[in-house]
């Protein structure tokens, strides 16, 4: 094949933007830009625009490799009373709550080295680099921001979240998956009254019992256990 006709093996977003700006988007160039946008959009949650679990996990693994573990914090967040909002005001109000939480988490993350993601339903996660001396104060302030009420079609919707914290330094040698499991268990303890916020995951939390890979106590796990 003539070297002038070879297609590049990898096209990055910056190269595509340069191509788009330099020449009319026709033929292969238009297809490449469209394909890249589809791939990028497919990695985001449709309701909030936040990244999904795979991108979140990859981001966390990069921080574990490149930053001091005592500064890497993983938060698991779950809405409180979300079902009541849906049942009382309808699913549009529930979507507004999810979008608002996502926007507030994105704004908080944009001011520091952090990434927020929606994991599903009213569950979110954040991975952030925060100086150890300031971490609990910053996370407490985030919780207060998330709890601020919002207006929807003339109604005041009051928000609340349960937050579990996992500090990478408390789980030496563990990967992102295990740290996130610790944060999830910590969040569940806070939500059910087994611990008070702020609560940081222990190694036992990171190795808490699961049902088919899911934390015991999650919605639907009783069905999995019964089917086993």
Q: Which two tokens mark 70?
A: 């005592």
The answer to whether 184 is a known catalytic residue is: no
**Are the CB atoms for 78 and 97 separated by under 8 Å?**
no
Residues 6+ apart with CB under 8 A from 37: none
Question: Any idea what the Cα angle at residue 103 is, between residues 100 and 107, rounded to 5°?
Answer: 140
106, 121, 131: which is closest to 56 by C-alpha?
106
Alpha helices in 67-163 (DSSP H): 82-89, 91-110, 132-146
Of 41, 87, 122, 170, the catalytic one is 122
> Element (H or E) spanning 22, and its range?
helix 13-22
110, 114, 96: which is closest to 47 by C-alpha?
96
Cβ-in-10-Å burial (0-12, 13-18, 19+) of 127 comes to buried
Positions annotated as catalytic residues are 122
């Amino acid at each position: 094949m003539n070297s002038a006709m070879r297609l590049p093996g990898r096209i990055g977003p910056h190269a595509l933007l340069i191509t788009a700006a330099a020449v009319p988007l026709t033929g292969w160039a238009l297809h490449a830009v469209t394909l890249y946008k589809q791939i990028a959009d497919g990695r985001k949650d449709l309701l909030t625009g936040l990244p999904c679990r795979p991108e979140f996990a990859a981001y966390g693994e990069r921080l574990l490799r490149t930053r001091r573990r005592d500064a890497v914090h993983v938060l698991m967040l779950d809405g409180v009373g979300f079902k009541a909002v849906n049942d009382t005001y309808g699913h549009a109000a529930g979507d507004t709550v999810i979008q608002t939480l996502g926007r507030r988490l994105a704004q908080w993350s944009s001011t520091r080295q952090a990434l927020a993601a929606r994991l599903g339903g009213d569950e979110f996660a954040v991975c952030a680099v925060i100086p150890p001396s300031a971490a609990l104060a910053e996370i407490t302030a985030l919780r207060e921001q998330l709890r601020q009420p919002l207006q929807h079609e003339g109604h005041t919707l009051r928000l609340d979240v349960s937050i579990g914290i996992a500090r990478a330094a408390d789980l030496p040698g563990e990967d992102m998956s295990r740290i996130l499991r610790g944060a999830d268990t910590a969040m569940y303890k806070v939500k059910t009254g087994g611990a008070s916020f702020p609560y940081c995951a222990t190694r036992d939390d990171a190795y808490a019992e699961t049902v088919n890979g899911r934390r015991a106590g999650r919605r639907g796990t009783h069905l999995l256990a019964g089917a086993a």
